[in-house]
Structure 1
């Protein structure tokens, strides 16, 4: 039996960690006999109180069986936090750090763990920075932070194994991997890469204006918005497919033709129509919100022009995110929202998207999803190949319960990381579905470039310095 895996769970009082993924996976490993213990929960919210006040049965059970210490990082400077973590590490000797807090705090915990040679499982996005939606320096530090962590990880691995990964559902999911296989096959057989790819993502997360001040890991008070929420999943999906089938493309010219910030959205009728209906009290004035909330990104479109060796255009990738689309929400502002007890899915969040992929004239793949978050998901995939390539040129397939029903889930990835951190091997079925740090180079570079373009357009009455910069970024596709 491998040695005990001792876990530091950062953000363990949140819904994703305490109810939906991390705590259940850790408890399952304990029930199966694997020696794992959550020694410390680091979160400004008291985990005992969260477990009592909410439907957080897995967190409550984890607290009962592991009796972890509670570390409250609120108000600590970086050096103070590192000192506290060092003392906890000296006591417990952490094998694995699981990071599930606000993305703007990921870097501090990642840097601390990597520099001490401790393996990490970090939720998406890998790192974001406060004020990145309007502060060009903050936006630029996203890419710089990745490079710093990359160098630190190389130093750590010189003396001992150190694994850093993200539980990215789509990298592990059967549906998306089947698409990856089709794309790769066309690249290898005919050298035909992706020539056009369009992703339209609709969030449906309806917020009353006051609720832009609320939220746990994905609040807007840090000066970042929808791009730091679920967008990283789709950026990574596009990056993954492009790396599998680049064709002639060697670089991308990235532009931001459309951007709507929270303040701009709140000046439209769209911001209040549903609120008027579900509150039943008629139009209400928009409250004054802090400048960092007003400046955060709500809706956006990015174009990635695919460029060949000589700068010729060989294709186009488009990512469009509309946060405020159809919503399933039917309840008004709740009193307990103000104490962050209302999980995001109760605010009407939808999981809607369409993805259209073409590999020249040889292959087309269409992917469609339209579900309420929290329900069983269905994903429809339509595949067409030119008849000269196959006897079956069209396939229409619906994957039922597509997320939870996948042969590998985020909980499987977490359990595999526990094994890796213990010095054991990951299960063969999971090993090649883990999104490791080094797999995120292109994804994170695009994520950073997107924020650089968003920040470059900030100005007017926003609380930031206006920077006149180029409205484009160039990103190398091939490593």
Structure 2
């Protein structure tokens, strides 16, 4: 077995890292005999204290096995943080940094790690800026940050100290269901030259918050001045960008507009904001507390249109993405005392994984994807495929994928396993290698995510009907 992979786990006291994915994946590697050690956990929350909680058994075992040092970054500016991390790196010589903290802090950790030749696995969204929902200058820093990170990666790789990898554990890029759809889309593009002409995705979040709960939250709290776009939308933006890059057809440019956005403050002025709280609390007249302006201005619901434009300026089609955060919720409990200590993740407060995706490739192929699940249950995805009868004997096929996420042949934990190997100079397993979402494979996703925030911020500034243009690859 090769040399030990030494891990810096940033945000390791959170539920995704400490309970659901990162800690379990690292423990699996250790049990299989892989020489990997979590040397440092960097998190403002004390991992020892978090590990004593009932639902954090993987973090508890990781602490027992590895006895990692705890670094508390709270209150440190960028220079102080870099100095603290440099001292830790001098002691432990990190091979891999795993970033699972509040996304508004990703940039500092990413730039620090790659500039020192350390490979990185970073949760989504890769980059977002505090206040991006209402400050145009902050929103513009997102795309600027991607360029800055690209330059830092180029310099690190040119230094010749070993391959520096930067990837994200994106479930849909690795998942069997979405890859089967990608294969169908690619085939029609390759054999018939027909790209995507319409693609609509409607996502319903169902994550119901009591009004005061907008002050709470771990990695995805609204106090950073960003909301639902940062919370879970990157997965869907990346899915749309991935499929569009596979089958652009005649399109060379997309014209992006934001015809609708509803902010937290606007949502809280509706009956919808309190009716479920009254039901689960058993009391009427739920009070709307005074919330900070950055919370009220954060995006809750939105729609983006991507008009596909050909080389000669003609309209080649339309892609639309609609996100409704406050839809049907499975929540049946009211505010509890441990919520105030951030001990209960909001993803388990009635959140839904519910969407409809409709894809057409001209008159040749249609694909419909449907999902309607409570987060935490086994996910079921239904896929309907139709092809013109001159191309297929079986013109209609419907498949139901039970346990579609955990049952995929490659999962986010498999991606983490592969990144541990890559960080130590090994090749990724063949079945995983082409399912890792590397930084350089997501150029369009990055630009669309940043562009969406630029438009949301422009909307807050009252700028008419702004638009942005994004070039497609090739």
TM-score bucket of the superposed structures, by smaller chain = over 0.9
Residue number in structure 1 paired with 2:467 = 472
Distance between the aligned counterparts of 1:468 and 1:377, measured in 2? Answer: 41
**C-alpha separation between the residues in 2 aligned to 1:319 and 1:56?**
35
1:54–1:341 CA contact under 8 A, matched in 2: no
Q: Is the 2:121–2:169 Cα contact (8 Å) retained in structure 1?
A: yes
Q: 1:469 deviation in Å?
A: 7.1
2:258 touches 2:455 (CA, 8 Å); kept in 1?
Answer: yes
Rounded Cα–Cα distance in structure 2 between residues aligned with 1:442 and 1:303: 15
Q: TM-score, normalised to structure 2's length?
A: 0.99
Out of 232, 237, 247, which is 2:249 matched to?
247
User: CA separation in 2, counterparts of 1:51 and 1:166?
Assistant: 25
Q: Matched residues in 2 for 1:346 and 1:26: separation?
A: 24
Q: Which residues of 2 match residues 43-82 of structure 1 at below 5 A?
A: 43-82=43-82
326, 329, 335: which one aligns with 2:328: 326
Q: Deviations over 1:288-307 (max 9, x none)?
A: 00000000000000000000
Q: How does 1:434-453 map to 2 (within 5 A)?
A: 434-453=436-455
**Separation in 1, partners of 2:54, 2:17:** 14
**Where in structure 2 are the equivalents of 1:13-52 lying within 5 Å?**
13-52=13-52
**Distance in 2 (alpha carbons) for counterparts of 1:435 and 1:259:** 29
How far residue 467 of structure 1 moved from its aligned partner, in angstroms, is 6.7
User: Could you list the per-position Cα deviations for residues 232-273 of structure 1 after superposition, in whole angstroms to 9, with x for gaps in the alignment?
Assistant: 000000000000000000010000011100000000000001
Deviations 1:412-469 (A, max 9, x none): 00000000001111100000000000011100100000000000011xxxxxxx4747
Q: Number of paired residues?
A: 472
SS of equivalent to 1:303? strand
For 1:467 and 1:144, locate their aligned partners in 2 and report how far apart those are by CA, in whole Å: 23
- What secondary structure, in the 3-state scheme, does the structure 2 residue paired with 1:76 have? coil
Correspondence for 2:314 among 312, 315, 325: 312
Give the Cα separation in 2 of the matches to 1:478 and 1:307. 13
Matches for 1:266-277 after TM superposition, within 5 Å = 266-277=268-279
Name the SS of the counterpart of 2:399 in structure 1: strand
| Offset from partner CA, 1:136-177 (integer Å, 9 cap, x none) | 000000000000000110110112310000000000000000
**Equivalent residue number for residue 176 of structure 2:** 174
Do the aligned residues in 1 keep the contact of 2:211 with 2:289 (CA within 8 Å)?
Answer: yes
Equivalent residues of 1:353, 1:370 under 8 A apart: yes
CA distance in 2, matches of 1:149, 1:451: 18
- 1:279-358 equivalences under 5 Å are 279-358=281-360
CA gap 1:202/1:239 in 2 versus in 1, 3 angstroms:
same
Q: Conserved in 1, the CA contact under 8 Å of 2:257 and 2:305?
A: yes
Q: 1:301-450 residue pairs with structure 2 within 5 A?
A: 301-450=303-452
Deviation at 1:53, TM superposition (A): 2.2
Question: How much does 1:55 deviate?
Answer: 1.1
What SS class does the counterpart of residue 163 from structure 2 fall into? coil
Distance 1:101 1:440 in 2: 21
C-alpha contact (below 8 Å) 1:127/1:142 kept by paired residues: yes
Q: Aligned partners of 1:116, 1:270: CA distance in 2, in Å?
A: 49
Alignment-derived partner of residue 227 in structure 1: 229
Extract unaligned runs of 5+ from structure 2: none
Q: Secondary structure at the match of 2:442?
A: helix
Deviation string, structure 1 residues 51-80 (Cα, Å, up to 9, x no partner): 102311100000000000000000001100
1:65-99 residue CA offsets vs partner (Å, 9 max, x unmatched): 00000000000011000000000000000000000
Query: What is the alpha-carbon distance in structure 1 between the residues aligned to residue 281 and residue 398 of structure 2?
Result: 42
Contact 1:136/1:467 (<8 A) preserved: no
Q: TM-score under structure 1 normalisation?
A: 0.98
Match of 1:193 in 2: 195
Aligned equivalents of 1:453 and 1:314: distance in 2? Answer: 22
Equivalent residue, structure 1, for 2:155: 155
Give 3-state SS (helix, strand or coil) of 2:223's partner: coil
Q: Give 1:345 deviation, angstroms.
A: 2.8
Q: What SS does the corresponding residue of 1:54 show, helix, strand or coil?
A: coil
Q: CA deviation at 1:470?
A: 5.9
The DSSP-based 3-state class of the residue aligned with 2:238 is helix
CA RMSD of aligned residues (A): 0.8
1:202 alignment partner in structure 2:
204
Shift of 1:283: 1.2
Moved beyond 3 Å, runs of 4+: 466-470
Residue 111 (structure 2) aligns with = 111
User: Which SS does the other structure have where 1:221 is aligned?
Assistant: helix
Question: Could you tell me how far 1:285 is from its partner in structure 2?
Answer: 2.2
1:121 aligns with 2:113: no
Unaligned runs of 5+ in 1: 459-465
Instruction: Note the C-alpha offset of 1:380.
Output: 0.1
Displacement of 1:400 after TM fit?
0.4
